[in-house]
Structures are given as C-alpha cells and as structure tokens.
Amino acid sequence: MKKLVQPIELAKASHMRPGNPRITLLTEMSGLKRLERFYNAIEDLHDREFVAAVFRNLELEIEMDPADLANVPKDGPLVIVSNHPYGAIDGLALVHVLGGVRPDLKVMANFLLQQLEPLRDRFIGVNPFEQLSSLSSFQGMRQAMSHVKEGNALAVFPAGEVSSWRTDLKAVADPRWKTPAIKLAQHVEAPVVPVWFDGGNSMLFQALGMIHPNLRTLALPSEMLRMRGRSVRMRIGKPIPPKDIAAFSSAEQLGRYLRAKTYALGSGVQVKRELFNPLRFPQRPKEIIPPVPKDVLQHEVDGIVDLKLNSQAEFDLYLAPAGRIPNMLREIGRLRECTFREVGEGTNKSVDLDEFDLYYDHLFLWDRSKGCLVGAYRIGNGKRIMSRYGKRGFYTYTLFRMDRPMDRVLRRSFELGRSFIAVEYQRQRLPLYMLWRGLLLHITANPDHQYLIGPVSISGTYSRMARSLIMEFVEQHHYDHGMAASVRPRNKFRVKVDTVDREALVQASMADLKRMDRLIAEIDPHETAMPVLLKKYLLLNARIIGFNRDPRFNDALDGLMVLDLTKLPERTVEDLRKGMEVA
C-alpha cells in the first residue's frame, strides 16, 4: 500500500529522528492509516476528479451562493486569500469550487497536500514546520510569485497555519496573517479575491494546540475524517483592484485589511442567525389605520394657504403646527408607520404619533395634482421647548441623557425627526430637496438658531457587523468627541469582540462614503449602502455625538446628529435656494 506521508516527513513534522518507534504510533493515532487506505482506492483519479471523490467519500458538501463565482476573474493574474479553519479541506475546497472557473489555479499548501500525487500540479509547497527563510519555503514563495506574474491564479492561506482558539477573541480564528504572503500580494500587481470558510476544528484539536502547536498539526488527518457527513459554508468576496492594494505602503496594514475583508464576508451568514434569537419576542405589528379621505385632507390644505412656504412643479410645501392640521397629522402618522416598516423600522403601532407631535411643527409636502401627502419632517423649536418643558421636552432626550453643557446647544437648535418620503415618491429627487429647502427657509427666518439636531436611524435590517462598521466609520471621521462627552445613550449598542478587524476596514475606506457603501454591500446581503439620510447629513458637515439602540423602534440604531448651521457648505445653501439638486 502506498504511503500518504513518508516516515521521514512525519519524523520532521514531529521533531523525531527517522526510525523512532513512536512514529508508527503517531501514524495510527493521527488517522493517517485510514486516509492512506482511502487514498489508495482512488489514486488513479486526477485533479478535480480526485477532489470530487474525496468529498463523495466523506459525504462532504460545500454550501455557497453560485452567484459568488462571478466575483472570480476568469483570466489574468489573480491572488485568492482565505482563512484556514479546517486544514486540507480548505485547500481541496478551493480546487473543487474555483478550479472550474480558473483551470490555472494553484494553491500554496502544507506537507500533507504536497504528498497527494493526483494533485501534485495544483499545490505549491510551504512547510509549516520550517521558517519561511528556509530553502524549501523560499523556493515555494518564488514559484508562487512567478505563477501569478505569468498571468495565473494563486490561492494562499496567509495565516500559514490552521485556525486555532484565540483567548483574546474567545473564538476560533486565524492568527495574524504572515508578512511574506502579504508582500506577495503587494508585488504581483494582481487583483485579490477574499474567500471565507465558516466553522473550525474540534475542541480536542484546539486543546492539543494549547499543549504544543505540532500536536495540533499532527491531528489534522483525524480532523479531516471527522468532517464526514458535514457541510462547509463558503463565501467569495468581490475582487480588490490592484490600485487599492498599492495604496497600502505597509504590509502589516494590508494584512490587517485583507484579513478583515475575509472575515467580514462571514457577516452575510451571521445575519440569518440574528433573525432567530430564541430569547427575543418582537412585538407583533398592529394593523395600520386606513388612509384619511383625500377630500378631508384637501379641505384642510385649502384652509392653511397662509402657511405655504414654497411651490415647485406639482408640489406645495407647508409648515404648520399640530392644531391647524389634525387630519393631516393623522395621515402623517399613518404614512410614517408605512414607510418605516418598509425598511425594517417603525413603532409597530397602528399609527406613528406621540406626545411630541402635539407641540412640534410639521413640515410637509403635498402633491396637488394627486391630492396626497408626499413626505414630512417633524421640527421642534429648541428655544420654545426649553422654556416650557426643559430638556425633557425633546424627543431626543428619550434616547440620550444630556448633561448641562448641552443646554446651550438645545436652546439654539431645531430638533428634526421622523422624516420620511412616501415609498412611491422615493425614486424622485425633488421631494427630498423641497423638504430641505423648507428647512432652509425656516432657518433663515430664525437666525437666532445655530444648530439642527436629531436622531438619524440605521435600520435594524442592517446586520450587527454592518452597523458596527458604520459606527466605526462615523467615530473615525465624523464624530465630535468634545460634545459627545456630555451625552450618554439610554440603550448602548454593544459591539462584540469578534474575528473581524473593523478598524482596518474603516481605515481603508479613507473617509470615502462611496467606499463604505461598497463595503456594506459586500458584507451585508440585505443592504447595498449606508443609510441615505445619514450620508446626506455627513455631506453637510454634520457631526455625530452618540449612538443609541432604540428597542421601541424595531431595534434601530440612532446616531445623534448635530449640524452647526454656520458650517453648512455654501454651495448647498445656494443650490437649495435655487431649487437645484445638491451635487
């Protein structure tokens, strides 16, 4: 029977002398004997047919979205980076799945996969028991670099070893990715595609590694056999272009970024898990009230001509107190709930109205041609609220506790909230900009007010990973730490320590909102970008001073926005005055 691993290789791996009788015992205990019997039965198969036979024998399935394969360039130089949770299974899976798209694919692998004669042409050897400066590993790196520079595809496991238990993360994850593999990605000027595998090896495997790393590696054959009848989830990310790779001058920073991009792909799987928390019983949504009759609304609109601010095309803009528009206010509350539920928010009540609506003003847009409500903003006059009710009179105070230094800001602010555009008008640009023009007109008429404040929602439909990345991005580039010291959330959004290096991902965005949009689209299967309103405020130089989780609004994450009106971009003011779109 042909041996899968020669005794001399096993001796080297276990740091024993060739001929040591303990090697025979290790061969049996590691599962190599059983693998050798199976290997000899299928050794006449070649390349991907051999891999398919391995998976059939193990009854092992790869779960992935076939659409992910479109992320793999069909030709040209390419580097694929992957986490390494299982060992040989990872390398075989890459050949099995990606080899059909890239027949030229080679994988950098350890000594076990090097021994497989049917796959000898697929693997470039790097011995995990040797230093990368050793001759065999150095030759492997040179061979790998030449392969890519010749226009071919190469897959690497930059960790250089199988994932293990990380006490700092309280999870199984790759160690820090090795510099030589990252430098290879830097030097070949090729796109890089991240690949993520879910899962990890057994607790026995992790325990052996805590005793000695070599024991963990010797257990890999038995771990491979343990996978019988299981499935492995896999995601393929979008290619990172060479120019983005070249933007990193430090191999360490690039390594953090590539590792974080890889692990962030796992959030697409985690999203589904979040939807099934057995300890959480969301409130069942009540049936939304019927629309207010159009003739009733039209009669009310005809009676507030004195409150009209502006008109353009088929739209009229009004700013009215609650007492003048009781029926319109009811329709505003109905449409709020309809619109917010569409994006996974809302109060789950039959109508979204509260006590604040009674003394806040309402900026709303009316479609005179169709006789219907288009959208609205709720506006609280900070000076008036502070004099009548103090801080407790602000809706924002139900989300955030505020210390005395915030009083000065609140007195000179307009609080904005509950803004919406009805679903059928959301593809039009004019409605939102007319509402913003109404805000400008109101601000201009009240020059003693310097700030716009209010919560900006990040829907609960965003995965926890996506929400934490948005928080990290805002805190790095759009946060007022001085003002934030006077604000405390009532329900803190807790960011879990996990395998994804969020800081590295956000730093790579370089404060670019479009880059962040692409990142959110890649890691979150339900969302394609950051929330539109949040981006609009940030482009107006707004600052965020805190985050609060709102369990009464379908667990939305609220960022407390403060916009200093003296810092509004001049072009924005000019465009709104002209009724033009903000560029």
Most confident stretch, 209-218, 232-241, 264-273, 568-577: 232-241
Ranges 113-117, 152-156, 331-335: which has the least confidence:
113-117
pLDDT at 278: 36
pLDDT band at 450 (very low <50, low <70, confident <90, very high): very high
- Class of 60-214+229-269 per CATH? alpha beta
pLDDT band at 114 (very low <50, low <70, confident <90, very high): low
Ranges 418-422, 466-470, 552-556: which has the least confidence:
552-556
pLDDT at 277: 40
Whether the per-residue pLDDT at 264 is higher than 90: the answer is no
Mean pLDDT of 534-560: 91
Ranges 133-137, 349-353, 426-430, 500-504: which has the least confidence:
133-137
> Could you tell me how many residues make up the chain?
583
The pLDDT tens digits of the residues spanning 159-197 come to 888 888 887 777 888 888 988 889 999 899 899 999 999
pLDDT at 501: 79
Q: Going by DSSP bridges, is the β-strand pair 106-109/123-125 parallel, antiparallel, or unpaired?
A: parallel
Q: Where in the chain are the domains?
A: 60-214+229-269, 294-578
How far is residue 31's CA from residue 175's CA, in Å, rounded to a whole number?
25
Which of 3 and 236 is assigned the larger pLDDT?
236
Whether the per-residue pLDDT at 112 is higher than 80: the answer is no
Backbone angles phi, psi at 574, to 5 degrees: -65, -40
How far is residue 204's CA from residue 334's CA, in Å, rounded to a whole number?
57
Phi-psi region of 160 (alpha: psi -120 to 50; beta: other; left: phi over 0): left
Paired tokens of 43? 């050794």
Q: Measure CA of the first residue to CA of the last residue in the chain; give whole Å.
A: 72
Mean pLDDT of 377-397: 95
How far is residue 191's CA from residue 62's CA, in Å, rounded to a whole number?
25
Backbone angles phi, psi at 99, to 5 degrees: -60, -25
Phi-psi region of 377 (alpha: psi -120 to 50; beta: other; left: phi over 0): beta
How far is residue 36's CA from residue 340's CA, in Å, rounded to a whole number?
60
Ranges 114-128, 241-255, 385-399: which has the least confidence:
114-128
Say if residues 318 and 366 touch (Cβ distance below 8 Å): yes
CA 568 to chain centroid, in Å, comes to 30
Is it true that 60-214+229-269 and 294-578 share their CATH fold?
Answer: no
Which amino acid is residue 186, in one-letter code?
A: Q
Ranges 92-96, 239-243, 568-572: which has the least confidence:
568-572
3-state SS, 362-424, equals EEEEEECCCCEEEEEEEEEEHHHHHHHCHHHHCHHHHCEEECCCHHHHHHCEEEEEEEEECHH
Distances (CA, A) of 386 to 322, 390, 411, 412: 19, 4, 6, 10
What percentage of the chain exceeds 70 in pLDDT?
83
* Distant-in-sequence, close-in-space partners of 316: CB < 8 Å, separation ≥ 6: 301, 308, 310, 365, 366, 368
Distances (CA, A) of 316 to 53, 311, 577: 69, 4, 15
Q: Strands of 361-367's sheet, edge to edge?
A: 308-312, 315-321, 361-367, 372-381, 413-421, 451-458, 556-564, 543-550
Distances (CA, A) of 434 to 197, 499, 542, 569: 48, 44, 20, 18
- Block residue for tokens 């000695």: 212
**Average pLDDT of every residue of the chain:** 84
pLDDT at 12: 57
pLDDT at 499: 61
Q: What is the pTM of this model?
A: 0.71
The domain 294-578 is placed in CATH, from the list 3.40.630.30, 3.30.56.10, 2.20.25.90, 3.40.50.150, at: 3.40.630.30
